Structures are given as C-alpha cells and as structure tokens.
Amino acid sequence: MKNVAEDRAMVAELLMLFRMILADGEVGEAELAVLRRICREAFDVEEAAFPGLMHVVEEMGGTKGLQTVRVFRSFDHPRRVALARRMLAIAQADEELSRREERFAVRLFDILDLEPADLAGKAS
C-alpha cells in the first residue's frame, strides 16, 4: 500500500466512499464489507491496514469542499466512473437505498460531472 497521507486524490476518494456509508445515518456491516473489498481491490489495502487507513482518512477529512471538487474533476473519465460505481456498490450493500443515499449519489454525480449514461456498460 502506498503512503495514503501523501496521495490527496486517494484520500478524497476514500473519504467520499466513507461518507456514502454514513449517508443513511448508519454504519452497516454490509457497507463496511464492500468498502473493505474496494480498498483491497482498488487501492491494494490489506485487511490489517484498514483501521489505520480509516484513521488517516478521518484525520484528513477536513479538506475544503471546493478543493475536493477540484480533485475529483481532475480525475480522468474512467476513474470518475469507477468512483461512482464504487459509491453505488456501497449504497446498495444493505440492499436498501435510502433517500439520503440517493441524494448524496446525485450530488456526487454532479461533482464528478457524470450522467447516468456514463455508468451504463462494462464495470471497471
């Protein structure tokens, strides 16, 4: 695993993924399991490193909103689509999409400058 604290883009992504877990007001085991899987597969984070990673993300979570938007908008299209798909996977992990999760996802798609059609097709 690379040094997360030095990779602001990765921290921004992980923070957004964690915020999706919190969007419905509950931190469910199914959602955390999906986040752990995403961290392992997309960011090469081993299970043992997950608690420390979440601590770093929480510590750095004070990033200003506008800075975070700029970070996300700097991602290439495939990376923005991958982030949106990961967010949806977390939101749907408990097999229930709350109104707050739905609104949060819509805001995220706007921040990522994505349309629903961008998510159609092959998952990355």
pLDDT digits (tens, 9 = 90+) for 7-39: 778 877 888 888 777 776 677 788 888 888 988
19, part of any domain: yes
Q: List the alpha helices (DSSP H) in the chain.
A: 8-22, 29-43, 50-59, 65-74, 77-91, 99-111, 116-119
- pLDDT level of residue 67 (50, 70, 90 thresholds): low
56, part of any domain: yes
Number of domains forming the structure of the chain: 1
Sign of CA dihedral 123, 119, 63, 58: negative
Q: What percent of the chain has pLDDT over 90?
A: 4
124, part of any domain: no
Q: What percent of the chain has pLDDT over 70?
A: 79
Residue 78 has a pLDDT of 92
20, part of any domain: yes
25, part of any domain: yes
- Domain housing 13: 4-119
38, part of any domain: yes
Look up the CATH number of the domain holding residue 28.
Answer: 1.10.3680.10
